[in-house]
Amino acid sequence: MARILEIEEIAPAFKSYIIHDPVIARRHRAGQFVIVLLHEESERIPLTIADSDAVRGTIRLVVQEVGKTTMEMGTLRPGDSIQVVGPLGKPTLIEKFGTCVCVGGGAGIAPLLPIALALDDAGNHVVSILGGRTQELVILRREMEEVSDEIYYTTDDGSFGAKGLVTHALDTYIEGAGRPELVIAIGPAVMMRAVSEQTRPLGVRTLVSLNTIMIDGTGMCGGCRVPVGGQSRFVCVDGPEFDGHEVDFDMLMKRQRIYLEQEELARRRFLESHDCRAVAAGG
Amino acid sequence: MARELTKKERLAISRNPMPAQDPTERIRNFDEVALGFTEDLAIGEAERCLECKKPKCVDSCPVGIDIPAFVHAVADGRFAEALAIIKADNTLPAICGRVCPQEDQCEQTCVTGNKGDPVAIGRLERYVADLERESGEVKMPVCEESSGFKVGVIGSGPAGLACAASLAMRGHEVTVFEALHKPGGVLIYGIPEFRLPKAIVRDEIRSLTKMGVEFKCNFVVGTTATIEELMGEWEYDSLFIGTGAGLPYFMGIPGEDLIGVCSANEFLTRVNLMRGFNFPKYDTPVAIGRRVAVVGAGNVAMDCCRTALRLGCEKVICLYRRTRDEAPARIEELEHAEEEGVDFRWLAVPVEVLGNDDAVVTGVRVQKMELGEPDLSGRPRPVPIAGSEYEVELDSIIVGIGQGANPLLTQATEGLDVDKRGRIMTEEVTQETSIPGVFAGGDIVTGAATVILAMGAGKLAARSIDCYLNGVAMVPDGETVVDREEFVTHPAGGAAAGTHNRVH
- Segment A131-143, tens digit of pLDDT: 999 999 999 999 9
B265 and A221 within 8 Å at the Cβ level: the answer is yes
Q: What is the dihedral of CA B420, B421, B422, B423, to 10 degrees?
A: -110
Overall average pLDDT of the A218-232 stretch: 94
Residue A167: how many CB atoms within 10 A of its CB? 20
> Which of residues B1 and A49 earns the better pLDDT score?
A49
B257 and A227 within 8 Å at the Cβ level: the answer is yes
A41 and B282 within 8 Å at the Cβ level: the answer is yes
Do B456 and B467 meet the contact criterion of CB atoms below 8 Å apart?
no
Size of interface A-B (CB pairs under 8 A): 112
Give burial (CB, 10 Å; 0-12/13-18/19+) of B384: middle
Q: Which residues of A touch B266 (CB under 8 A)?
A: 215, 221-223
Lowest-confidence region among A13-17, A107-111, A273-277, B347-351:
A273-277
Nearest residue to B204 (alpha-carbon basis) of B503, B469, B451, B504: B451
Would the CA dihedral through B131, B134, B137, B143 be positive or negative? positive
Q: Are strands B315-319 and B291-295 parallel, antiparallel or unpaired?
A: parallel
A222 and B262 within 8 Å at the Cβ level: the answer is yes
Cα three-residue angle B197-B199-B202, rounded to 5 degrees: 125
Would the CA dihedral through A177, A178, A179, A184 be positive or negative? positive
State the helix-helix crossing angle for B79-87 and B67-75, rounded to 10 degrees: 170
DSSP string over A38-77: -STTSPPEEEEEEEEETTTTEEEEEEE--SHHHHHHTT--
DSSP secondary structure letter of residue B116: S
Scored b (16 or more CB within 10 A) or e, B162-179 reads bbbbbbbbbbbbbbbbbb
What pTM value is reported for the model?
Answer: 0.91
Nearest residue to B255 (alpha-carbon basis) of B389, B348, B363: B363
Residue B144: how many CB atoms within 10 A of its CB? 11
Q: Which residues of A touch B282 (CB under 8 A)?
A: 41, 43
Min CA distance, B287 vs chain A (Å)?
A: 8
Q: Whole-angstrom Cα distance, residue B246 to residue B265?
A: 8
Tell whether A198 is within 8 A of chain B (Cβ): no
Q: Which residues of A touch B279 (CB under 8 A)?
A: 262, 266
Min CA distance, B298 vs chain A (Å)?
A: 17
Helix (H, G, I), strand (E, B) or coil at B93: helix
Do B255 and B352 meet the contact criterion of CB atoms below 8 Å apart?
yes
A220 and B265 within 8 Å at the Cβ level: the answer is yes
pLDDT of residue A276: 52
Min CA distance, B406 vs chain A (Å)?
A: 7
B248 and A222 within 8 Å at the Cβ level: the answer is yes
State the helix-helix crossing angle for B67-75 and B121-135, rounded to 10 degrees: 60
pLDDT of residue B10: 87
Q: Say yes or no: ipTM exceeds 0.90.
A: yes
Q: Are strands A45-53 and A58-64 parallel, antiparallel or unpaired?
A: antiparallel
| Number of continuous H segments (helices) and E segments (strands) in chain A | 10, 15
pLDDT of residue B9: 87
Tell whether A231 is within 8 A of chain B (Cβ): no
CA of B303: how far to CAs of B26, B105, B198, in Å? 14, 21, 15
Cα three-residue angle A28-A34-A39, rounded to 5 degrees: 140
Give the type of residue at B11: L
Do A106 and A47 meet the contact criterion of CB atoms below 8 Å apart?
no
Overall average pLDDT of the A110-122 stretch: 96
pLDDT of residue B474: 65
Q: Which residues of A touch B281 (CB under 8 A)?
A: 41
Q: What is the dihedral of CA A243, A245, A251, A254, to 10 degrees?
A: 80
Nearest residue to B129 (alpha-carbon basis) of B168, B84, B162, B66: B84
Do A243 and B257 meet the contact criterion of CB atoms below 8 Å apart?
no
Min CA distance, A22 vs chain B (Å)?
A: 10
Residue B280: how many CB atoms within 10 A of its CB? 15
Q: What is the pLDDT of residues A245-279, one digit of tens each?
A: 999 999 999 999 899 999 999 999 999 887 655 44
DSSP secondary structure letter of residue B273: I
List the single residue in A41, A69, A85 with the smallest CB-CB distance to B220. Answer: A85
CA of A252: how far to CAs of A173, A262, B3, B262, in Å? 28, 18, 69, 15
Q: What is the pLDDT of residues A145-172, one digit of tens each?
A: 999 999 999 999 999 999 999 999 999 9
**Cα A69 to chain center, whole Å?**
16
pLDDT of residue A277: 53
CA of A243: how far to CAs of A99, A207, A215, A217, A252, in Å? 17, 5, 23, 20, 14
Residues (pLDDT < 50) of chain B are 478, 480-504
List the alpha helices (DSSP H) in A102-156. 109-121, 141-147
List the single residue in A44, A68, A255 with the smallest CB-CB distance to B259. Answer: A255
Min CA distance, B107 vs chain A (Å)?
A: 33
Give burial (CB, 10 Å; 0-12/13-18/19+) of A77: exposed
Do A242 and A274 meet the contact criterion of CB atoms below 8 Å apart?
no
Q: What is the pLDDT of residues B70-127, one digit of tens each?
A: 999 999 999 999 999 998 888 889 998 998 888 888 999 999 888 889 999 999 999 9
Q: Which residues contact B496 (CB under 8 A, 6 or more apart)?
A: none
List the single residue in A84, A220, A254 with the smallest CB-CB distance to B218. Answer: A84
Residue B227: how many CB atoms within 10 A of its CB? 26
Q: For residue B152, list its beta bridge partners.
A: B175, B239
CA of B283: how far to CAs of A69, A257, B224, B271, in Å? 8, 16, 26, 11
Cis peptide before A240 (omega within 30 of 0): yes
Q: Which residues of A touch B408 (CB under 8 A)?
A: 218-219, 237
Q: Which residues of A touch B280 (CB under 8 A)?
A: 262, 265-266, 269
List the alpha helices (DSSP H) in B399-503. 407-411, 443-446, 451-469, 484-489, 491-497
Give the type of residue at B421: R
B266 and A23 within 8 Å at the Cβ level: the answer is no
Min CA distance, A165 vs chain B (Å)?
A: 27
The percentage of chain A sitting over the pLDDT mark of 70, rounded to a whole number, equals 97
